């Protein structure tokens, strides 16, 4: 398979996960989420789309670079961690928005954070510069976890 096809597939996988998460999110934005108590540092809703679009693009490029390496146990393990974190990323949207369960979403986002960290470490060991694509994702999810915890606390 050519590297160009791997790049397209990587982008489709990441933005496919985004679309599934978007489905879970869309139904709650107009009513449930709008009525939640949120902290003063909660970004405006328009920020999330551009930020996540950039992060999913970075994730796809990192996946593509690692996937383009010769097959090996280390490469396959790194890709496995990538898919674990991508699935957890999607599940978070369902827990928080679709099921309207901020506390459960907070527990899950901590597990997601660990999976992103593991993915970052594994990718760094294979293609060191991919860390620069994954650090913004880890930082954003760190902020999202704090925001999630605060929203859960304010809405007990």
53-105 residue pLDDT tens = 999 999 999 999 999 999 999 999 999 999 999 999 999 999 999 999 999 99
- The Cα 128–Cα 49 span in angstroms is 28
44 backbone dihedrals φ, ψ, rounded to 5°: -65, 150
- Confidence check: pLDDT of 109 > 90: yes
Mean pLDDT of 18-34: 90
Query: If DSSP codes are grouped into helix, strand and coil, which group holds residue 87?
Result: helix
Domain positions in the chain are 3-154
- Nearest to residue 112, comparing CAs of 98, 94, 92? 92
pTM equals 0.95
Please state, as a whole number, how many other Cβ atoms lie within 10 Å of the Cβ of residue 98: 17
Q: pLDDT at position 21, please?
A: 95
Structure tokens at 60: 């796809």
Q: pLDDT at position 79, please?
A: 98
- The Cα 56–Cα 50 span in angstroms is 10
Q: pLDDT at position 64, please?
A: 98
- Confidence check: pLDDT of 7 > 90: yes
Binned at pLDDT 50, 70 and 90, residue 3 comes out as very high
Mean pLDDT of 22-48: 92
- Selected from 1.10.3720.10, 1.20.1260.100, 1.10.260.40, 1.20.120.450, the CATH number assigned to the domain covering 3-154 reads 1.20.1260.100
- Confidence check: pLDDT of 27 > 90: no
Mean pLDDT of 8-37: 93
Whole-number average pLDDT of the chain: 97
Binned at pLDDT 50, 70 and 90, residue 18 comes out as very high
Binned at pLDDT 50, 70 and 90, residue 1 comes out as confident
- Nearest to residue 56, comparing CAs of 1, 134, 112? 134
Residue written as token pair 């999630």: 148
Q: pLDDT at position 69, please?
A: 98
Would you give the distance in Å from CA 54 to the centre of its chain? 11
CB-based contacts of 123: which residues, under 8 Å, 6+ apart?
62, 65, 66, 78, 82, 130, 131, 134
């Amino acid at each position: 398979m050519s590297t160009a096809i791997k790049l397209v597939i990587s982008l489709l996988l990441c933005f496919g996960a985004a679309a599934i998460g978007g489905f879970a999110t869309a139904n709650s934005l107009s009513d449930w989420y709008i009525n939640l108590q949120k902290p003063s540092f909660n970004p405006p809703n328009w920020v999330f789309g551009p930020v996540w679009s950039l992060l999913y693009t970075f994730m796809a490029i990192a996946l593509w670079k690692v996937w383009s390496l010769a097959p090996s146990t280390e490469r396959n393990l790194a890709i496995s961690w990538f898919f674990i974190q991508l699935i957890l990323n999607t599940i978070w949207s369902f827990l928080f928005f679709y099921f309207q369960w901020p506390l459960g979403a907070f527990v899950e986002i901590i597990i997601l954070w660990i999976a992103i960290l593991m993915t970052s470490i594994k990718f760094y060991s294979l293609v060191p510069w991919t860390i620069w694509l994954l650090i913004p994702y880890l930082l954003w999810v760190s902020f999202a976890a704090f925001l999630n915890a605060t929203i859960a606390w304010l809405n007990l």
